[in-house]
Amino acid sequence: MKYKVIERDSFQVVGIKREFSLVNGENLVGIPKLWDEVNEDGTVGLLLKLNNGQIKGVLGVCVTNSGTQSKQVMDYWVATEYDGDTPDGLLKFEVPASKWVVFEVHGPMPDAMQKAWNQIFSE
């Protein structure tokens, strides 16, 4: 699997957020359904128009913290990097400065992404 390590200052994304249960793989069913919804309702098109950051395209962002981990849930964002005022109907999330491992994932979604996650966490 191809990957690279990068360092970035903090940056902002805007998009929509949903909470998904991590119990019994419920997130593996719910997240693909969310992507179907946002592709059909125009959200992805809007995010692509707003994108003005270093990362091009639309992102799936998984966010956990001590509160979500104890409940076995995670926040999942469909978002895009955007520097500006938060547009109506969207939420903003500040991604902290950090070192990141960026993995290349190719193939039909969501299967390719789920296969990549399994490979990452099993190696």
Cα–Cα nearest to 13, from 64, 68, 62: 62
pLDDT at 46: 98
Which helix (H) or strand (E) is 1 found in, with range? none
Please classify residue 61 by burial: count the beta carbons closer than 10 Å to its beta carbon, then call 0-12 exposed, 13-18 middle and 19+ buried: middle
Q: What is the pLDDT of residues 28-84, one digit of tens each?
A: 999 999 999 999 999 999 999 999 999 999 999 999 877 777 789 999 999 999 999
Q: What is the pLDDT of residues 61-71, one digit of tens each?
A: 999 877 777 78
pLDDT confidence of 5, banded at 50, 70, 90? very high
123 CB-near residues (< 8 Å, 6+ apart): none
Q: All domains of the chain, ordered by start, with CATH? A: 9-100 (3.20.80.10)
Judged by DSSP in three states, 114 sits in helix
Answer for the pair 82, 51: CB distance below 8 angstroms, yes or no: yes
